[in-house]
Structure 1
Amino acid sequence: MALHKSDVKTCETLLKEYLDKAPLAKDPVKLNFTGVGDKDVYNITAPFEDQGESVIAGRVESRDSEHSEIHFFVEKEGAWVPREGAPVFTLQDPFFTFIQGELVLGGVQIYPHPTQEHALMWRTVFYKGKSIQELAPFFVGPDAMKDLRLVELPNGQIGVFTRPQGEKGGRGKIGFTTAKSLQELSIELVNEAPLLQGQFVDEEWGGGNELHILSNGLIGVLGHIASFDDEGNRHYYPMVFALDPTTGEHSDMELIAIRDKFLPGATKRPDLVDVVFSGGLVRKADGTADLYAGISDAEAHRLTIQDPFLTFEQI
């Protein structure tokens, strides 16, 4: 399958393309989370089904802290409340997928930096089980790597999206490889995944957030691309692209929303006002999709957009 790929596009170029197209962005909603005291809930997943109930996993955190927990929420009378008896994980930025009939849940673990005093290090950790109640750890990713994502491919193998930083990835670039099974996952396999070419200029960064197997076998990637402005403010945009898992070919990225399309809201810090962190996408039969996102590191919102993966399914 031929995927069109042009030269690398910056946030500025992608933003101009998005504004020129003026795509659908309607029915913005701020999700109401309760039952966690005065803490914020943000960087949520899309809802997923667990034991017949629709559940959202969210990052729960005090406004002045980076130390967070993942809680599971169910909707009751218009509010999302903590699910009774559900486990709580000391992690950031939850994500989920289903592999071989099991729920796979991941998040970012922070811990003291091994060499720098008062600094933190991070890594992506994975749990799996038949249900939320049965989740058990099964893989820990490389140190200093967020946005590590897995997906079950149509041939039964595992697609692995990586995001190294530093010598290989700069501020953060996306890589892709495959594993024959979850048992074959290793630090070495993740670290050796080739980077996708022509996605990010060195001053900008991004990562994959949620993976969708499309009807033609391509992988639809929901992710983010980010940059700093001259004042040091961060700008995070939700984006998508498609990748052919058999060839590694991938399409250009395109933005699917911007902060202004969501409702006004709070921010964790002044430099995080223009941050939309892709949480998940629920594709709907009418050709639209609901985008769930963390907003300004303080809130969780939803926006209805055109299903961004339909065009890739026509390839």
Structure 2
Amino acid sequence: MTPTQAAAPGGLSVAMADLPFRIDESALIPLEDGQAVSAGWPESIGGRPLGVTWHWTVTWDLELCRRLLGGRNAERRGEASAHYGIGRGYDEGVDRYVTLENRSWHAGLNQTLRWDGRPLGSPDYKGSRSTIGVETVNIGYATADDMVGDDWIETATPDGKPIRVQPWTGEQVAMMISIGREIVERWPHIGPDDHHGHHDLCPGYKVDVSGFPFARVLRGIYPDRAIDDVWTPTCTVTQRQTALAELGYDLGPTGVDGQWGPRSGAALKRFQTERGLVANGYWSTFVSRRLAAVFAERGMELAEASS
């Protein structure tokens, strides 16, 4: 097979054979009836993708992801897909299921927000019609105590439930950066603020990718851009409450207690309303970005305000 081209450091295009992993196209989904792929991008949104939606697979390896989503006879044939599946390490590498010229069916069910945090409105702004879908092999959050390793990420869901999430590996992050550069090489209008998690589009329905290393990945994709880490300082319930309290929002008599209850949710809704966000009471990348901007106006870093 001819080596797939990918974006390399410095924005150059090199053969994938020159990188420590490869993109496997053997599971490319055919563009035919009954498959979870659609031709092109809607003219109503400019005939191009508007952003990148990051997911986790809830699998331990890329092989199962491939079986579920990739190829002509995927187990979820005609139901779901993604543009890429990114393994845990270089040995697994990356799968391409859908080309960047076409749409994968990776998000849309129970979606309420667009890629930019605004209300969904037209169905053409659903993820499956407007964004590139990237699945990262990750089991997600622990459902039993014996799953949790010492390095698992302490974070919280959009509705404030504390969870522990499997960390992404260093090799996986490097592959995500390389794939991100390939995406931006093809669609250079996609900027750092156009990246988000599945849970950002479908709050209250999806949890992935809580705890995702957005700052590390985006800084690698866009090495010439100044990208603030707005995610790590708002990972946990306590950090979120502390930031809201710093801005004067009433969290109730117990204040910052690490428990996300109705008063914390009401405080978040007030912040969203006052700052022009959709007031749904769910924490998101959009909330974290706006929060960082508010503190910047006050001459403060978000990390300082939430600690």
The TM-score with structure 2 as length reference comes to 0.24
Structure (1/2) with the larger helix percentage: 2
The TM-score with structure 1 as length reference comes to 0.23
Structure (1/2) with the larger strand percentage: 1
